[in-house]
Copies of this chain bind each other. A is one copy, B any other.
Amino acid sequence: MQQVKKGKVSNAVIRRLPRYYRTLDAFYRDGIVRISSSALGSSMGITASQIRQDLSCFGEFGQQGYGYNIADLRREIADILGMNHHYSAILLGSGNLGRALLRNFRFAKTGFTLTAAFDADPALIGTSISGFNVRSIETLDEYLKTHSTSVGILTVPKSEAQNMTNHLIAGGVKGIWNFTNVEIDVGDSGVTVESVHFSDSLLALSYLISEKA
């Protein structure tokens, strides 16, 4: 079910949701049936209060004296995360990182369906990667006209990031998953950008190990 209570959900909560899902999914796969907020909390290293407070943004999923049914709560969180919308995604840039995603990333596990891959390199166009026929980036606009697409994945070179962003916006995507390490500008399009900044992550690690020395 969708968000029962409206009222803006804080970013802190949103960032914890995928981890709740991941943890519950692991228990679910292990065949565990129920869990209390305090057991879940100690398995995740957070407080039971925080879990109950977080969940209360979306509804009431537990039962006094019992806790939470793992299968149910896992399903509720999947719903909250939008995993049942079966969003479609296309990948722009079939270089090394793009290929890594095509070959290794389990899109279906997050509810996404990867529907096409594009590249500008004539040597790649027409080849097959992990079952995907790589299309010419020249055909992107046409593709988006005929295939409603939820998310564009940007694994192109930095220099192409903004240009590709513009095409994705014009093509009506709802979100962009950005791996280019560049801040892209979506103007007032309302398109949501989620960036994975490898270098920010490595620099945070660098800071943390320096701090300890």
Q: A100 interface residue, CB < 8 Å from B?
A: yes
- Rounded to whole angstroms, the CA-CA distance of A192 and B100 in the bound complex is 25
Q: Is the CB of B104 within 8 A of A203?
A: no
Given A22-B200, A100-B97, A206–B15 Cβ distance below 8 Å?
no
Q: Is the CB of B110 within 8 A of A174?
A: no
Is the contact region of chain A dominated by helix, strand, or loop, or is it mixed? helix
Identify A196's interface contact among B151, B196, B210, CB under 8 A. Answer: B196
Q: Is the CB of A209 within 8 A of B82?
A: yes
Q: Is the CB of A198 within 8 A of B14?
A: no
- Rounded to whole angstroms, the CA-CA distance of A156 and B193 in the bound complex is 28
Q: How far is the CB of A10 from chain B (nearest CB, A)?
A: 12
Q: Is the CB of B210 within 8 A of A81?
A: yes
Q: Is the CB of A206 within 8 A of B19?
A: no
- Rounded to whole angstroms, the CA-CA distance of A9 and B97 in the bound complex is 33
List the 4 closest pairs (A to B, CB-CB), nearest first: A82-B210, A96-B100, A18-B200, A194-B205
Residues of A within 8 A of B (CB): 3, 9, 14-15, 17-19, 21-22, 80-83, 85, 87, 95-97, 99-101, 103-106, 109-112, 150-151, 174-175, 177, 190, 192, 194, 196-213
The contact sample of 26 A-B pairs, CB cut-off 8 A, is: A9-B211, A14-B208, A17-B204, A18-B199, A21-B203, A80-B207, A81-B203, A82-B209, A82-B211, A85-B210, A95-B100, A95-B104, A105-B199, A109-B199, A110-B202, A110-B203, A111-B206, A151-B209, A174-B209, A175-B209, A177-B202, A192-B209, A192-B212, A194-B201, A194-B205, A196-B201
